[in-house]
Structure 1
Amino acid sequence: MGNNSYGQCGRKVVENEIYSESHKVHRMQDFDGQVVQVACGQDHSLFLTDKGEVYSCGWGADGQTGLGHYNITSAPTKLGGDLAGVNVVQVATYGDCCLAVSADGSLFGWGNSEYLQLASVTDSTQVNVPRRLPFSGVGQVKQAACGGTGCAVLNGEGHVFVWGYGILGKGPNLVETALPEMIPPTLFGLTELNPEVRVSRIRCGLSHFAALTDRGELFVWGKNIRGCLGIGRLEDQYFPWRVRLRSAGWGVRVHSAAGQQGSLPPGPGASQMPPAAGTGESPGGASHRPGPVRL
């Protein structure tokens, strides 16, 4: 359900349909298997089935549907290319670039490459079929994340690698790279006293990143639009910074969700409270400190 201007909801585009007033829920039955994950991009959608197959629909002008063309597709269609016969376990997208992780730890990509996301396999800025990304030194990929201009992967050792363009997490000097660079594990809390700390999950918003450790600590970095990083200030953050939750003893136990201009770190249930003086609410109602919310 939602905006179907380009068929991203998996149904035929209806000319002049007013999506803001639409409550139409469309059931899609175009899959060979059960859908186990859905990832939504700017104007396209990806679907992963329990058979490890990837389907897509929506806007394809940058090749983000991965179907070998640049047209609109209104019905979920199975991807081929380098994904043919591959058992995929995760898909990721946000803007117009897409990544997929296979069961054996390989990484695949397609879609927009204006910001070097797929420059390891092509000089083209648009890739309309999935390509295997031959990244050496990364190891087995466990999870991938796509932002608007940057990408990240998490390997089996709990290390985070980033590439693309923007604030990538290794300080202000790294703005652009076509090959993944590892963010030092010490920035996620690894020390001699805490040698077992590992990153367990990663997420991307449009221009910011989030990483969750196995200790339940949330780290963020990137563009801090309207305080979306939740770090208590409005400046951009150039390397991972631990988010301090307002209630003592909280830990992020499930996952973090990073959106276009906001992030949500789940914690123990509590009623939403208005921020007190000095707690980080900026003029206009934007808060740059996390507060408890009942979900």
Structure 2
Amino acid sequence: MSGIQIMRNKAMMSMVCARCFNTITKRFASRRAERQQKREARMQEVIQEKGALSEAAERVYVWGHAATGALGVSTYLRPESRVHFPLPEQHRPARLRFMDENHIEVYDIACGYGFTLFATKRNRRYMVMGTGLNTDSQLGYHEYPKNSGRVLDYIIEPVPISLPGMTDDKLMNVKQLACGRAHSLFLTKEGVFAQGNNSYGQCGRSIVEGEIFHKVSNIQKIEGLPDNISKMVCGADHSLFLTSDGKVYSCGLGADGQTGLQTYENVGQPERLKGDIDGVKIRDIACRADCVLAVSEAGDVFGWGNSEYSQLSMVTSETQVSMPTHLPVRNCGKVMQVATGGSICALLNEKGEVYVWGYGVLGKGPKVDMLQSPSLLPLPLFGVNELQPEVKVTEVKCGMSHFAAVTDLGDVYTWGKGKYGALGLQRVTVQYFPLKIALPAFTHRVECGVDHTVALSRSYA
């Protein structure tokens, strides 16, 4: 065969290969186009399946510091598989499935320093449950296994808390919970009960020098309170009680004047506050650490306690205020709710607007870290726009250094310091403006601990 013929044969083979390659390529392209069309068709097709008994159900979501067990998800600290590692932090909202799996409905929550309380009901049986840090018996006496003498300092999923003299019927009367640094309060129809650390009288009983709080059962009823307590609030180491007719009582640590009893001494029995709130009907009180805010039915704001970070600089240049003092809050409308953390403060008016002041990450950008008087957070930060012009914030809460707000659309916005994932924004960095977190439910209540957050939500039917 001549060289010319060999070259012709090679050229013909190249043409055949190119033809086959083009055919195969076109075939693959055609199949790819068909798959893409089917995919787009499926995306455009909406299929909704709803059972006959489908209805909205209560859900609990948790996020933040998990190492103490405060989130109540046992697998975070005790993984189900050896290939998984413990999860000390949860950076985004996670559903507390323990409640769903046991058919437990939660109707009240309280967050302490590394622990959480739940007021629950199941099959008409009402009980209080707790999870997290228990080194001062703030969650009661829990022995595991029974009769072993091994008392738990950490509880990693919710367990029942025994209240003295409570039958199943009477447990229906548990109306509210509150948590401090290491003590817990329970408001029932039979009165207010307290347990945990009482070093400063925060449990409403006499201070006993050298008392041991570790691995004991010390829950007791607080004596000296009126029968019409409607709300309780815990600071770090003091307690406040609001009556239905607007009077305020307190006890506990007074080093910063946070008891409001015109003293800097510790108080072991609840006493009624006077000062500028004497004769005024108070509708709301708030405290997370050592600064206290209160608001009256008329919308006036009062404050006392720690003012090292300008929380109360509207009325004093001192760092402490030992009695309730009227704060000249101006141009904020009628105030309905207040909130205060370690050095941050907020108020909510009847229009659903949020005002902030104090020191820290306040929600007004990285250049504003100190405000001596309340300043409005722009409404669009909470979802107000042309399509949703009527959105209102219905609740605002403070952790030690972060905020959380709930709107009437059931959305939750957080801002502040994101340590341990307490903001639920999938990161631990600082958030300088309110940002909506991803929650697959309608939220109607949120509570902030020092470094964790819990939300009560309702699923979409």
Considering the TM-score relative to the shorter chain, is it more than 0.5?
yes
2:283 corresponds to: 89
Structure 2 residue runs of 5 or longer lacking an equivalent are 1-194
Select the residue among 419, 435, 439 that pairs with 1:241: 435
Q: Quote how far apart the aligned CAs of 1:205 are.
A: 0.2
Matched, 1:221 2:415: yes
2:442 corresponds to: 251
Structure 1 Cα separation of the partners of residues 206 and 331 of structure 2: 44
Structure 1 residue runs of 5 or longer lacking an equivalent are 270-295
1:133-176 Cα offsets, whole Å, 9 max, x none, are: 01111111100001000100000111000000000011111100
Runs ≥4 residues deviating over 3 A: none
Select the residue among 220, 223, 242 that pairs with 1:29: 223
Highest RCO, 1 vs 2 (Cα 8 Å, sep ≥ 6)? 2
Structure with greater Cα Rg = 2
Q: Quote how far apart the aligned CAs of 1:268 are.
A: 4.3
State whether residues 52 and 89 of structure 1, in contact with CA within 8 Å, keep that contact through their aligned partners in structure 2: yes
Q: Quote how far apart the aligned CAs of 1:51 are.
A: 1.7
Select the residue among 164, 173, 188 that pairs with 2:382: 188
1:115-142 Cα offsets, whole Å, 9 max, x none, are: 0000000101000010000111111110
State whether residues 31 and 49 of structure 1, in contact with CA within 8 Å, keep that contact through their aligned partners in structure 2: no
1:286 corresponds to: none
Q: Percentage identity across aligned positions?
A: 48
Matched, 1:80 2:274: yes
AA in 1 matched with 2:244: D
Aligned-residue CA RMSD (Å): 1.0
1:263 corresponds to: 453
2:135 corresponds to: none
AA in 2 matched with 1:227: G
TM-score, structure 1 normalization: 0.88
Select the residue among 399, 403, 422 that pairs with 1:209: 403
1:280 corresponds to: none
Higher helix share: 2
The size of the alignment, in residue pairs, is: 265
Structure 2 Cα separation of the partners of residues 243 and 65 of structure 1: 35
AA in 2 matched with 1:252: T
State whether residues 234 and 288 of structure 2, in contact with CA within 8 Å, keep that contact through their aligned partners in structure 1: yes
Higher strand share: 2
SS of residue matched to 1:226: helix
SS of residue matched to 1:211: strand
Select the residue among 303, 308, 312 that pairs with 1:109: 303
Matched, 1:61 2:255: yes
1:49-98 Cα offsets, whole Å, 9 max, x none, are: 11210000001010000001100000000000001001011110111000
Structure 2 Cα separation of the partners of residues 21 and 118 of structure 1: 39
State whether residues 33 and 50 of structure 1, in contact with CA within 8 Å, keep that contact through their aligned partners in structure 2: no
State whether residues 204 and 223 of structure 2, in contact with CA within 8 Å, keep that contact through their aligned partners in structure 1: no
SS of residue matched to 1:200: strand
